[in-house]
Amino acid sequence: HESSAANSTDQSKNLKNVKNNHSEKSIETQKVSNKRKNDNSKDFEIHKEKKVENTKYIPQSLAVIKGKKYVVIKRPTVHQNFKKKPQDVIKKNKGAKSIAKEIISTNSTSSSITTASATAELLCCARVCRLWSLVSNHKLLWRTVRMKNSYVGNWKGFANALQSNSTVHLDMRKMITTNSDKMWLDFSNNISCVQSLENIDMCRCPTNVIENLFENNKNLKVLNACSISANKGLCLKNLSNMENLVELRLRGIEPLTLKSNELGCTTLPNLVQLSLTTFANLTSEDLTFLKHLTKLVSLELGDCSLLSSKFPKDILPSLKTLKRLRLENGKDDCPTEEILETISTMTNLTQLELINFDLKAYLDKKLALCQNLKRLLLIPTYQQQSATTNHIILNGILKLTSLEWVVTIELIRVTALYVVQYDEGSRTSKSQKRKSSTGSTGSSNSKDGYDECIPILKPIPGVVSEEEYFDPIPLLQPNNPDVMPQIEILPLEKIKNILHTGLPATNFNIIKTPYANTWKQNLID
């Protein structure tokens, strides 16, 4: 009994100890849970306060979705500085721009399309996709802007686009314009803001637009205005402001006039090419400014009929660097003989163009002295003594490497009518023999012997035997009716053979053109 009682007391003690341990553990767990609850409540309160702070100034609205109410909060912007782009967007743009640059720089299909496209077509390409937009708006493609078949409605935006793309060359030829005074006023006011422009090719415009370019666009290096409407005289007073000007071409639809003799004070130290064609009644006093153009290489002058001997004696010798000279309309009292004498002393001058000049007697000797000439474009007037004129040309060309001889259609027609008026009895047998040898028949063959022929005064330079040509046709001179000069009617093909024999090292070409198109003839470099 004693042992059982002892065991029962031990068990009771153990039970008490277990209960005490459980109670202590439960107390500890309650304390931990209370701490967690307190911490969670504090975190919730802090989060709530932060949320309240974040949503304090954010606009909110109430929305009902499927019967439940929701508070809708606008998502805050990722970057508050709207000018600053995220890094991922910047990286994407850099990648796209590099791809666009590679497309333009390489000889790919896209590069060929974009470089050959006009300005209006580039704007259409920019609407295709983002890559094509970057390619079309690349600055390399906008250095030269061609406005052919294009219209500008906002000149201010157009000028800003040119300035932002650093456009260097603006080509306005064949552009669609209204030609109103307001349009040209807007153009003049805004084009002066484009300081990157160095080259402008103007379309048809009035004279005041050119004068505004002289005054405002001082950075221009090339100015081509070949369709000036001559509603007023052209003032070149502000031309001296363009110190960087290298090339200047001024040409009117109708003959241009100068307002006053203000051209004489003009100095352009860097000018290399100057073209003043279609200027009427140019005098030697108007051209005294040419003495100051020390770098001039090419010179084109319009109406030279009023030039005095001062031009070949004082002005031309001062142009030491001149290599190309074009003179137009040398009629009446133009000092052609003195001009050729001066040209023979200019060693650097190798190209000469004489357009619609009267070639007087003994001028072939002066032309033969110009041994420095390598290329010659010659268009005689053929108004009187055309046979003498052709004789002077054949006798004057000696050491040329290039010859362009322009024969007018009117001269060929007049020669054919002139030959028909004479008795062809002595020439019929020879012409029939020539036609039978070529195998041509028919009634129209009677005119073929004189088609494309011109008269040349005998003796023909470069011809030893004249049996193969037509019989001479007598002409009466009005001054000496007893003298019977003889001319020869030569086909153009026969003249080419004479030139080929006499000038084997010369590239020559005989051009047939109407008199109205003689002003458009040029030597192609």
pLDDT score of 448 more than 50: no
pLDDT score of 441 more than 80: no
Q: Is residue 220 within 8 Å of residue 197, measured between CB atoms?
A: yes
Q: Is residue 190 within 8 Å of residue 156, measured between CB atoms?
A: yes
| Other CB atoms within 10 Å distance of the CB of residue 259 | 14
CA atoms within 13 A on the CB side of 56: 6
323 to 248, 291, 310, 330: CA distances (angstroms): 16, 15, 20, 20
pLDDT score of 272 more than 90: yes
Q: Please, what is the Cα angle at 173 between 169 and 176, to 5 degrees?
A: 120
Question: Buried (b) or exposed (e) across 313-325, using 16+ Cβ within 10 A?
Answer: ebbbeebeebebb
Contact residues for 515 (Cβ-Cβ < 8 A; gap 6+):
408, 409, 410
Q: Is residue 505 within 8 Å of residue 403, measured between CB atoms?
A: no
User: What CA–CA distance (Å, rounded) separates 211 from 421?
Assistant: 56
The confidence band for 231, taking pLDDT boundaries of 50, 70 and 90, is low
pLDDT score of 226 more than 80: yes
Per-residue pLDDT, 264? 46
The confidence band for 384, taking pLDDT boundaries of 50, 70 and 90, is low
Per-residue pLDDT, 478? 46
What is the rounded average pLDDT of the residues 1-27? Answer: 57
> 3-state SS of 155-199?
HHHHHHHHHHCCCCEEECCCCCCCCCHHHHHHHHHHHCCCCCCCE
pLDDT score of 366 more than 80: yes
pLDDT tens-digit readout, 295-343: 999 999 988 888 888 999 999 999 999 999 999 988 878 888 899 999 9
User: What CA–CA distance (Å, rounded) separates 330 from 338?
Assistant: 12
Characterize the bridge pairing of strands 375-380 and 351-357.
parallel
What is the rounded average pLDDT of the residues 252-275? Answer: 77
Residue of 474, 467, 417 whose CA lies nearest to 447: 417
> 514-518 contacts: CB < 8 A, separation 24 or more?
514/408, 514/409, 514/410, 515/408, 515/409, 515/410, 518/355, 518/356, 518/379, 518/406, 518/408
**Secondary structure element (H or E) that encloses residue 50, with its range:** helix 2-54
365 to 299, 371, 397, 398: CA distances (angstroms): 24, 11, 10, 11
Mean pLDDT, the chain, as a whole number? 76
Characterize the bridge pairing of strands 205-206 and 199-201.
unpaired
| Residue 222 φ then ψ, to 5° | -135, 130
> 3-state SS of 57-72?
CCCEEEEEECCEEEEE
Question: Buried (b) or exposed (e) across 184-216, using 16+ Cβ within 10 A?
Answer: bebbbebbbebeebbbbbbbbbbbbbbbbbbeb
pLDDT tens-digit readout, 146-198: 888 888 989 999 999 899 888 999 999 988 888 888 999 999 999 989 989 99
pLDDT score of 477 more than 50: no
Q: Is residue 223 within 8 Å of residue 213, measured between CB atoms?
A: yes
Characterize the bridge pairing of strands 60-65 and 68-73.
antiparallel
Residue of 244, 252, 248 whose CA lies nearest to 273: 248
Characterize the bridge pairing of strands 222-229 and 453-457.
unpaired
Q: Is residue 230 within 8 Å of residue 253, measured between CB atoms?
A: yes
pLDDT score of 440 more than 50: no
Poorest-pLDDT segment among 278-287, 385-394, 470-479:
470-479
Per-residue pLDDT, 300? 93
**Secondary structure element (H or E) that encloses residue 201, with its range:** strand 199-201
Q: Which comes out higher in pLDDT, residue 262 or 236?
A: 236
